[in-house]
Amino acid sequence: MATQSHLVSDAAHPRRVLIVRIGAMGDVLHALPAVSAMRRQHPDWHIGWAIEPIWIPLLRADSDDSAEPGSSAMPLVDRIHSVPTRTWKRRPFAGETIREIKALRREFRAERYDLCVDMQSAIRSAVVGRLSGAPEVAGPAVPHEKPANWLYGKSIPTPGIHVVEQGYELLSGAIGEALRPTEDLLPIDDYAERWRDDLLARTLPAASRHYAIVAPSAGWGAKQWPAERYGAVAAELARAGYTPLINATSPDDQLANAVAEASEGAATVVPCTVSQLISLTRRASLVIAGDTGPLHLAASLQRPVVALFGPTDPARNGPWGTRARILRHPSSRRDHSRHADTEEGLLQITIDEVNAAALELLSAEHDKVIL
């Protein structure tokens, strides 16, 4: 490891650090704790973040008149670089793609970063790191895609089991000092806050403002618990006095509507943007989801979660920093093959088990509010 004097800036010259964590939602949220800790320890540093456009609301509020992430005095990042790699992948040799990549390179170079940390550890993110022009590009010693290591000037061991732990190890090693855990800095969007308040006024009973979010979608089929079971759980939440709201990507979201139908009218489908989902989750009594973005968002906001795991390992990817009940059948094995059908182990998790976990957490949350 390079000496600490080389890695840490002096007070007269704050460091300029670029984070590369392009997507997806849960992965960005797993990187957030370490970056939040770096921001709180070094409020004078210039921090940039390279990210897919769809996930920018995780770093900055959509509305122009809203507060900065976390608070107006403590923004998480100073500069966001939009990196539409999914679009580039669809048209890699198009003239527009080449122009956008060249423009991104100029944008990076204008910021004069002295350190780039690839928190994605993929080939595409390592290439983006090299585009930055930073004299030092750091990444994990054992990246997700092994060839990425060829593009790092500094490889950092990350022996931690959980990806959040690995993020702390990577960023700590890159800047040459230990990062102390802190509250995640997520944006507060004024428009989204008003949208949420209006939604709740129209949706929740006048005598209650308690609601639970059910997020049934997953990155691939093997991680997706059946819609009819989510619907049965939503119905039980309603009987317990909590309005179930189903996270949806659009009013035509087939999965969300299937859950609502299975709930026999107990649940309401709520299509929302990323900013709106942040605001809605911030006040939720509980979130029930599989290994997916909304679950990790709830954890970042320190909301209680019931997490349903199958082919992914909760020891590595589970909810971090919040009260959680994690359900995983002993027959489940780690497998990222992206099978279309629900994993057999995940199917062994019963409706009764999820109901019991949910009611247990809700009871504890209710007692905490009363105290």
* All domains of the chain in start order, with CATH: 4-175 (3.40.50.2000), 190-370 (3.40.50.2000)
Local structure of 352: helix, strand or coil: helix
Q: What are phi and psi of 246, to 5 degrees?
A: -100, 120
Q: Which residues of 263-279 are buried (b: 16+ CB within 10 A; e: fewer)?
A: beebbbbbebbbbbbbb
Q: Mean pLDDT by 10-residue block, N- to C-terminus, for the chain (371 residues)?
A: 41 87 96 98 97 97 54 76 94 94 97 98 96 98 96 97 98 97 94 96 84 96 97 97 96 97 97 97 98 98 98 97 97 94 97 98 71 39
C-alpha span between 128 and 182 (Å, rounded): 28
Question: What is the per-residue pLDDT for 161?
Answer: 97
Q: What is the pLDDT of residue 364?
A: 83
**Residue 233: which of 70, 56, 355 has the closest Cα?**
355
Q: What is the pLDDT of residue 75?
A: 87
CB 153 within 8 A of CB 134: no
- pLDDT the model gives residue 10: 52
pLDDT at 13: 77
Provide the residue type at 261 as one letter.
Answer: E
Cis check for the bond before 24: say yes or no (omega within 30 of 0). yes
